[in-house]
Amino acid sequence: MPTHILPAPSSELRWNLRQLYADVFWYGMVAGSTLSFLSVYAARLDATGFQIGLLSAGPALVSLLLTLPAGQWLERHALLRTTFIASIVQRLGFVVLIALPWMFASAGGQVQGIVWITLLMSAPGTLLSIAFNSTLAEVLPEEWRAHAVGRRNALVAVSVTATTLACGQILDKVIFPLNYQIVFAIGAAGALMSSYHLGRLKARAAASQEAAAAAAGNAIISPAAGAQPDETQPPARQGWLSRLNRLWRGFLALLRPNRAAAAQGKGGWLRLDVLRGPFGPFMLAYFGFYTFQYFPQPIFPLFYVNELKLSDGMISLGTAIFHGVMVICSLYLSQASARWGHRKLMVAGALLFAQYPLMLWMGRSAIWYYAACLIGGGVYAFLSGGLINRLMQRVPANDRPAYMALHNLALNLGILAGSMLGPAVGEWIGLRETMLVAVVVRLAAGWMLYRWG
């Protein structure tokens, strides 16, 4: 198999790679604990498909309201510092989840609490999503991105696999609901440690020079009153009145679109200059993929519990199989990207993505669930890498926040549409039949990425 030779990394790049790898390893603890079992916990509390769908759709709706102003706001603020602060604020919600059984006596109250907590987390989560995608492109040279994404996928898979197996044992052996509180505590610890490493990232010198050159050629990208703050230096101390004043002026700036920028097609609330070009159909394809990715997501936990009769331990074993295979396949992402390109990996992965609901539809026991996870882990390793690398390939380096904001808009529109449509179809035709519909729409999403991706 041919190998892709990378240039020797600088000390700065080695530092950033270590932080990115540590960040995603700790975040794997969140994915393997809280994120893997929160919807299952809701299903155990007799939540409806609509309520489980709200765990995705509610935050997506909040994000839709905030995405465009957040993207505009990020054009005037330091990406690395914003990423760190947003991650801290958002991930405090994982800490609150630990206290759910103490906060609400009834099962219905806990379900409502889960929905509201996820809604509140979504506001800083929107800023984090846009900022981190732009930060990833800023701290990594283009030739290192496929390598780094592949290694991050492998590390998160290792972390998720180990965490999920451990959480499965906890859930099966500790009494309810203490078992889920322990699982949520593991997720909270991983989330805060992940934020710690995000705060240690350093801006590339080359990226800073590119940004300075872009700002010199197009001054509307940077603030009118001076240069962007140096992210490698600690901020100057300010009084609380000064901080409040800056916050208020920043809020007013969001409500006041940049007319000079809009006249050049590069500002305001909607970047129509971006959507008129080839990036418009590209985002339409991504929107279709995200919609049909999330179409069966609220149905999966109900299907595991009510149709396949899986225990928490069985669900954790399937998740571990999924991510274990993802570990192995992710190690080859860089070579596969170099050989076939990001677009081919993305399209092939999207078409094969339909196998997971297909195998669940065919299944009547845990064996089919395990088989779906076995194949799905390999498919998702190449699909996730292809999606993010193809996106960064299509986004210009001198205007990342605006383009990433549009991507985040497509992502959250897709999550909202899919998460609401799936439960509605499930209640109309049944859980098993909805799995078959999911196969068809995911194949359609693959075609859209082939056509416009």
What are the tens digits of pLDDT across the range 229-247?
A: 333 333 333 444 554 455 4
Is 255 within a domain? Answer: no
The candidate with the shortest Cα–Cα distance to 126, out of 403, 391, 394, 411, is 411
Residue 42 has pLDDT above 60, yes or no: yes
What spatial distance separates the first Cα and last Cα of the chain, rounded to whole Å? Answer: 27
DSSP 14-43: HHHHHHHHHHHHHHHHHHHTHHHHHHHHHH
- Residue 78 per-residue DSSP state: -
Q: Quickly list H helices, 141-232.
A: 142-173, 178-198, 205-217
**CATH label of the domain that carries residue 31:** 1.20.1250.20
Token digits of residue 133: 């995608």
Residues with Cβ < 8 Å from 438, sequence gap 6 or more? 292, 295, 296, 299, 354, 357, 422
Residue 446's domain comprises: 11-205+274-452
Secondary structure (3-state) at 320: helix
What pLDDT is recorded for position 244?
45
Please state the rounded mean pLDDT for residues 109-125. Answer: 89
Q: Alpha-carbon distance 288 to 443, whole Å?
A: 11
Please state the rounded mean pLDDT for residues 341-369. Answer: 89
Is 180 within a domain? Answer: yes
Across the chain, mean pLDDT equals 78
Is 139 within a domain? Answer: yes
What pLDDT is recorded for position 252?
44
153: left (phi over 0), alpha (psi -120 to 50) or beta: alpha
Count, residues in the chain: 453
Please state the rounded mean pLDDT for residues 406-411. Answer: 82
Q: Are 124 and 359 in contact (CB under 8 A)?
A: no
pLDDT in tens, 185-205: 999 999 999 999 888 888 765
CA distances from 124 to 117, 118, 344, 420, 440 (A): 12, 11, 33, 23, 34
What pLDDT is recorded for position 242?
54
Beta-strand ranges (E) seen in 303-355 are none
φ/ψ of 411, rounded to 5, equals -60, -50
Token digits of residue 264: 């050049």
The candidate with the shortest Cα–Cα distance to 347, out of 286, 291, 395, is 286
Domain total in the chain: 1
Query: Residue 35, Cβ neighbours under 10 Å: how many?
Result: 17
Is 247 within a domain? Answer: no
Query: Residue 204, Cβ neighbours under 10 Å: how many?
Result: 18
Secondary structure (3-state) at 95: helix
Percent of the chain's residues with pLDDT above 70: 80
Residues with Cβ < 8 Å from 367, sequence gap 6 or more? none
What pLDDT is recorded for position 6?
63
What pLDDT is recorded for position 261?
43
Is 35 within a domain? Answer: yes
Is 366 within a domain? Answer: yes
Residue 150 has pLDDT above 80, yes or no: no
Residue 336 has pLDDT above 60, yes or no: yes
| Range with lowest mean pLDDT among 59-68, 100-109, 372-381 | 59-68
Please state the rounded mean pLDDT for residues 389-397. Answer: 81
| Range with lowest mean pLDDT among 14-23, 86-95, 140-149 | 140-149
Is 1 within a domain? Answer: no
Token digits of residue 118: 């996820």
The larger pLDDT score, comparing residue 53 to residue 3, is at 53
The larger pLDDT score, comparing residue 179 to residue 129, is at 179
pLDDT in tens, 66-107: 877 777 777 777 778 888 888 999 999 999 999 998 988 888
Is 128 within a domain? Answer: yes
